[in-house]
Chain A
């Protein structure tokens, strides 16, 4: 693919094109006006001469006056070098002529008479404009004669050519200069953009918290900078979460690994019998199992983040799935003095394993935070376009400022509980959220009036 033109090139080219357009139009107009002017001049002169000769002919009322005509007509060409006049009778006989012979010959031969537009004729380096007309003689009952006049316009032509050359050369030069000026102007006009890009280039992971200055910017760039700063803020947030998460992860892994180390060291301290070794290996196995589960969960989340998990969707009856889950948790819940109820029905096309896992995580979370004697309620409902799953449990309220964070990985509402509870690494809600989002749904939590409710909204 070809790289797009630089902005500077684009602006200066457009500018040059616009300037060229305007200049060319103006030049064409000038040229046309000058040509018109010369044409008008010539025509006026030809008409003037024709009228003059018409009057002379009309005044020649006697044969004596007719005899004087050549002198009178010759007088009219005075001061007009290169003008030729020919007067011929109706039968073609030359009555009178003046001017270069070749021109007179053409005038008589051409016989173009009474044309509206003066004709142009070139001959041996000279250009002539010719007008001819028919007019009567002053003598009564005489036949009309033809009068043709040729005006030498070679000088005008030469001037026009020179003018044209000058005009187009000047025009080309102007366009070139305009293009160069346009380029310089574009360079200068785009300076804020260059400054901005060097500032953006200076942004690094360590300086995500320093937004670009938004003051003193041209309007066009302000929007860009505002958008960039918003993106920077989002990036910084993700970056902060990520580094918090890796810190949490390290912490989370450190405890079981230290336990393993300690147990193994103590065991190896002295000779023991087989039963003791087995005991120790079994304890290690339990710890390793927790670690393995946690890393598997982390991997699941990472894959979900990178869209590496394929959903195997099938029609699901959530009422049946819910009943199954409740049966599964029944013993566990009643052990903790917690009752489970289910209401409503809903169907969905989804990945059975994943949906089961998400709901199980929500239920197990709810059961754990329900005080003895409480009831965890699973409620299903559906409409035309979406279905809702609600898991509600009584229990301590989650402070509103912590609510949005409970879906974060390894997040614990009460940080002091981090160490003691190795069984729940704090990934369950993150996995539930990730699964719901894979199915195109949303999950949210609300906590008020002594109960907490998780609502899952899934499109159908």
Chain B
């Protein structure tokens, strides 16, 4: 639920969101996300994680004023509550 609206997530999208939430404020590198969410422990050279984050973002951020998931260029992704 966000802003009183119901959002359906796939299990992996949920796992991704959960990871970002659990470590909110912390910049998570792509390799860490791949390892924690998909159990992919090698340094994958595709932008697979980017696509997954983009999809998650489309569901939880696109229709809202305050963006929760932010990209830190060259580093990874971070979830900051209330747009700090």
Q: Provided the pairs A289-B74, A327-B12 are in contact, do residues A360 and B52 lie with their beta carbons within 8 angstroms? A: no
Q: Provided the pairs A332-B51, A335-B51 are in contact, do residues A282 and B73 lie with their beta carbons within 8 angstroms? A: yes
| Docked pose: A284 CA to B42 CA in angstroms | 23
Per-residue contact bits, chain B 47-82, to A (CB 8 Å; 1 contact, 0 not):
110011001000000000000000011110000000
In chain A between 285 and 343, which residues have their CB closer than 8 angstroms to a CB of chain B? 285-286, 288-289, 293, 296-297, 324-325, 327-332, 335
A345 within 8 A of B: no
- Distance from A359 Cβ to chain B, minimum over Cβ atoms (Å): 10
A353 within 8 A of B: yes
* Cβ B51 vs Cβ A328 within 8 A: no
A357 within 8 A of B: yes
**From B42, B44, B75, contact of A285 by CB (8 A):** B75
A118 within 8 A of B: no
| Docked pose: A293 CA to B38 CA in angstroms | 20
Q: Provided the pairs A282-B74, A283-B73 are in contact, do residues A331 and B42 lie with their beta carbons within 8 angstroms? A: no
Count chain A CB atoms within 10 A of each CB in B42, B43, B45, B75 and give the residue with the most.
B45
A182 within 8 A of B: no
Q: How large is the interface on B (under 10, 10 to 19, 20 to 34, 35 or more residues)?
A: 20 to 34
Contacts of A327 in B (CB 8 A): 12, 38
Contacts of A332 in B (CB 8 A): 46-48, 51-52
| Docked pose: A423 CA to B52 CA in angstroms | 17
Chain A residue nearest to B37 (CB atoms) is: A328
**From B45, B51, B55, B73, contact of A428 by CB (8 A):** B45
Chain B residue nearest to A336 (CB atoms) is: B51
* Cβ A331 vs Cβ B43 within 8 A: no
| Docked pose: A332 CA to B34 CA in angstroms | 13
- Distance from B13 Cβ to chain A, minimum over Cβ atoms (Å): 9
* Cβ A328 vs Cβ B40 within 8 A: yes
* Cβ A424 vs Cβ B45 within 8 A: yes
Contacts of B43 in A (CB 8 A): 293, 296
- Distance from A430 Cβ to chain B, minimum over Cβ atoms (Å): 13
- Distance from A304 Cβ to chain B, minimum over Cβ atoms (Å): 14
Contacts of B72 in A (CB 8 A): 282
Per-residue contact bits, chain A 348-380, to B (CB 8 Å; 1 contact, 0 not):
000001001100100010000000000000000
Q: Which residues of B contact A (CB under 8 A)?
A: 12, 34, 38-48, 51-52, 55, 72-75
Give me 10 A-to-B residue pairs in the complex whose CB atoms sit less than 8 angstroms apart, sorted by A's number: A285-B74, A288-B74, A293-B45, A324-B38, A324-B40, A327-B38, A329-B48, A356-B41, A356-B42, A428-B45
